[in-house]
Amino acid sequence: MYLDVQPDPNDGSVTIEAEQIVVWILVLLRTGAFFLGIPLFAGRLIPVRIRMAFGLILSLLISPFVPADLAIASHYVGAILLSMNEVCIGLLLAMMVRMVFFAVELAGYLISYEIGLMASNSINPLLGSTDATLSSLFYYFSLLIFFIVGIHQEVIKAFTLSFEILPVGSFFLQANPMVEYVREVSNVFVLGVLMAAPFIALNFIVNISFAVLGKAVPKMNVFITSFAIRILAGLVLLVSSILLFSSYVIEHSRRSVQVMLDIIQSG
């Protein structure tokens, strides 16, 4: 069902039906929840009013073309259920995009631990929390790639297509997204470990080397020396693996766009 604003032939004014307002509100709820959860907007750096303003503008642009089934909204209980359903859909779609960034932050924690920089923390202005310095650095770097490559445009296009795949008034549980959601959560740990794998191997090699060296030279302070070597080698490896890290971010960010649509596919 497509809703259009019809002009009044009597006085030339525009008449907006109550059904159109309900559709726009439901679209706004899905869009607002989506903007509250996607990268850059999901944090304290951008005020809630600005995030909601983006959601308001996008909902105004797409609401006239959104198919809707408001049969259940004839009663206030049904309207509440539809509202909660749209919020859940928006958050679910946003979480699919955030999965890559969760993996990036996990990789930052693992790398910081492996090269001995866990004590180095910094304030994350996006979330207002204290995180490992490398975790915050990776997050900003991934966010920069996300916008430079143009993946944010693909995300917006996929979000608008979600109204065709799962129209307003259709419950997201009909698509049974839980299995796909659990699979994506497990992929967060897999991707995080893959990004940190070279540094895990580096730490293992350094520990084995200095364990042998400690036996060969008992008077040598193995702990202090290995700590400095591990940080130096870790930073060199970090610079050398930038392209590998970027490829992971680009590949899985583009994959998350497709997952956004797959997770709400019915049947």
Residue 82 has pLDDT above 70, yes or no: yes
Alpha-carbon span 22 to 102, nearest angstrom: 35
**Residue 121 β-bridge partners:** 132
H helix and E strand count, the chain? 8, 4
Mean pLDDT for the stretch of residues 134-140: 83
What percentage of the chain has pLDDT greater than the value 70? Answer: 83
In three-state secondary structure terms, 110 is helix
Residue 143 lies in a domain: yes
Position 229 scores a pLDDT of 84
Q: Which pair of tokens denotes residue 9?
A: 């032939």
Q: State the pTM of this model.
A: 0.79
The beta strands (E) that lie in the chain are given as: 6-7, 14-15, 121-124, 129-132
Give the chain's domain count: 1
- Express each pLDDT in 160-208 by its tens digit: 888 888 888 777 766 667 778 888 888 889 999 999 999 989 888 888 8
Q: Domain range holding 62?
A: 6-262
Position 8 scores a pLDDT of 47
Mean pLDDT for the stretch of residues 96-115: 87
Residue 184 lies in a domain: yes
**Average pLDDT along the chain:** 79
Residue 61 lies in a domain: yes
Position 125 scores a pLDDT of 53
Residue 4 has pLDDT above 50, yes or no: no
What percentage of the chain has pLDDT greater than the value 90? Answer: 1
Position 259 scores a pLDDT of 86
The beta strands (E) that lie in 46-140 are given as: 121-124, 129-132
**Residue 132 β-bridge partners:** 121
Position 129 scores a pLDDT of 62
Residue 42 lies in a domain: yes
Alpha-carbon span 85 to 168, nearest angstrom: 9
Q: Which pair of tokens denotes residue 173?
A: 């549980």
Residue 267 lies in a domain: no
pLDDT bracket for residue 143 (50, 70, 90): confident
pLDDT bracket for residue 16 (50, 70, 90): very low
Position 114 scores a pLDDT of 84
Residue 89 has pLDDT above 70, yes or no: yes
- The letter for the amino acid at 154 is E
Position 137 scores a pLDDT of 84
Answer whether 118's CB lies under 8 Å from 132's CB: yes
Position 75 scores a pLDDT of 73
Residue 1 lies in a domain: no
pLDDT bracket for residue 138 (50, 70, 90): confident
